[in-house]
Amino acid sequence: MFFDQSPYECRVEWGRRGAREAAERGDIIIIVDVLSFSSTVITALRNRAIIYPYPRNLDGKKFAAKIGGEFILGRAEAAQIGAPTLSPVSFGKAHNNKKYVLTSLNGAYCTWIASQVPALLIGSLLNAESVAAAANQLQKQTKANISVIPCGEQWEGSGEYEDTLRPAIEDYLGAGAILSYLEGSKSPEAELCMISFLHSIDNLNNLIWDCGSGRELRGRGFETDLDHCSRLNVYQTVPLLNKDHFIEYV
């Protein structure tokens, strides 16, 4: 296709459609959902939890029962009983070696769509340099190109003929951070994404705090998620999809 990014080794594509296109090309894929699927998976795996991504439109509770795991509840419901949830700060050492089924409209869904690829990694601001280093190594081994997928959000109440994807700046900044450490040639779309991050690197916390997604989480009482997710390169944990769950890339 004349409108794709095929001349370049590193690309950026949005959302579910972008994930599917990248998977069909056989790219190495990095899923970026900063608030909060990616950040939660990274934090959970760092605490040795075993995370199974699952799309929200399927029966995650039934799947959790099948694998002997726990279905992760929504933030508000889980907070009432002290259970882990899509909030990354809800995971700690107590969840070591326990199985959890994590659903979301964006990151988990994009992971599900793009699961059949040479490698699918999870990235965010938390592990940007480490996930890029892993992708660089995998690119040398497989000769596959790399697609970074900022997942975005979903508009509520979309009309019949309207798009449902809402681009989210926190995912764009996370994708740009990762792209800044990738070694391959970058498409114009990837270059612009990287430049946006580099221009904003000293103001990440404020931008994420006050962006649409950030304001939504603050309004629901999850300010600590924003502080946690806006930190840059604090973890070396790189989740790699292994069939139906994540393992740590080494």
Instruction: Give ∠ CA 228-153-57 in degrees, rounded to 5.
Output: 105
Tell me whether residue 110 is exposed, middle or buried, using C-beta atoms within 10 angstroms of its C-beta: 0 to 12, 13 to 18, 19 or more: buried
Domains in the chain, start-ordered, CATH in brackets? 10-248 (3.90.1560.10)
pLDDT in tens, 142-168: 999 999 999 999 998 888 889 899 999
Q: What is the pTM of this model?
A: 0.96
Q: In what order do the strands lie in the sheet with 146-150?
A: 10-12, 146-150, 28-32, 120-123, 239-242, 245-248
Which stretches of 13-127 are DSSP H helices? 15-25, 37-46, 60-67, 75-81, 107-113
Region 96-117 average pLDDT: 96
* DSSP secondary structure letter of residue 159: -
Give the model confidence (pLDDT) of 237-247 as tens digits.
999 999 999 99
Tokens representing 12? 């950026």
How many angstroms separate the Cα of 208 from the Cα of each of 84, 106, 173, 239?
A: 23, 18, 9, 23
